[in-house]
Amino acid sequence: MVKSALGDIIMPAGNFHFQRLVIDGVNNDDVLAANKPEMANEETCLFHNSTADGNAYQRKLQDRVEKSLADRLPLPVVRFADGEYAFYALSLDCNGLYRQAESTAAIKAALPLHTDALARLSREGVLAPLIFPGNVEQPRQGIMAIVSRLRKRPSASTFLKLLGKHRVTLTGDNYIPFYVVYAWLSSAAFARLMNGRKICFIGSECDQEACRRWFARFDSRPETVFAEIPAEYVATRWSTMKDHLLSAIPANTDLCLVGAGIGALPVCVDTAASLSIPVIDAGHVFNMMNDRVDKSNGARLYTHHRP
């Protein structure tokens, strides 16, 4: 039950439940075979009671993006997982595959920018945190509660508590499961939607020819442009990069895909607001499109589609 695991941290627990994420045409078998068996636990994730299944979440995300494109509305979409949870817990464990923060002091200095962006994201866009039974801490009492506080292990629970502290609430409108973003961005439906549109890739590097080949596999031919950001410390130095990046994105861009690690939150929120377009934290799919899966340290769930 969600209630026993999450309590009433930031939401009425009765509005959410855990359910296996099943999306037509998506096959995780190869990814699971190549990784630890317990990765399969992540297939069970948090669902809002208003959404029946994974296919409905896919349609919801596509509908939001289509409306943003048609009405020229800002739509930031941002994922959150272990790295973000560590960063918001002021832990340098956030420095995993990439250098995200120079020091705990740097995180503390940047945290107000991030919490403000979280509030704006909840109002204007979509939060996609990784929440599954294995990364939600069960309530503890006595000595175990003390040990848990001393460890300060970043988890979905610590992230949810941060949201609650800043009065950010997950709802049926602003929440989707983490892996829905991966599944949709790596699908033929997304590629077809982008046919003939202009996409700006925001990251530290971009092989535009590889990206065009990616879309061509789906008979989609978007125009692509690239706006460069540094490979590290975007999460703590975004305020010094913001103006330069926004000026580098063509005004007629239809959608942005972002690869910025923990810095994706402020990048997506500010860029979407500035250009009034969808700006999506693509992460691993960004690397897939660039033919650089090695930068993700291997394949990820919900990115393999059956022919």
DSSP secondary structure string, 15-75? GEEEEE---TTB--HHHHHHS-GGGGGGGEEEEETT--SHHHHHHHHHHHHHHHHHHT--E
Write the pLDDT tens digit of every residue in 21-37: 999 999 998 889 888 88
Question: With contact defined as beta carbons under 8 Å apart, do 235 and 101 qualify?
Answer: yes
Instruction: Quote the percentage of the chain above a pLDDT of 90.
Output: 77
How many angstroms separate the CA atoms of 97 and 120, rounded? 27
* CA 161 to each of CA 2, 126, 154, 165, 264: distance values in angstroms, whole numbers, following the listed order: 15, 18, 11, 6, 21
How many angstroms separate the CA atoms of 57 and 98, rounded? 30
Q: What is the pLDDT of residue 153?
A: 65
pLDDT at 279 over 50: yes
Q: Per-residue confidence at 3, pLDDT binned at 50, 70, 90?
A: very low
pTM for this entry: 0.92
Lowest mean pLDDT of 86-100, 132-146, 213-227, 247-261, name the range: 132-146
Write the pLDDT tens digit of every residue in 92-130: 998 887 889 999 999 999 999 999 999 999 999 999 999
What lies within 8 Å, CB to CB, of 86 at 6+ separation is: 92, 93, 94, 154
Q: What is the pLDDT of residue 216?
A: 96
Average pLDDT over the chain reads 89
Mean pLDDT of 147-153: 50
Quick check: helix, strand or coil at residue 158?
A: helix
Q: What is the pLDDT of residue 12?
A: 46
Q: What is the pLDDT of residue 164?
A: 92
What lies within 8 Å, CB to CB, of 142 at 6+ separation is: none
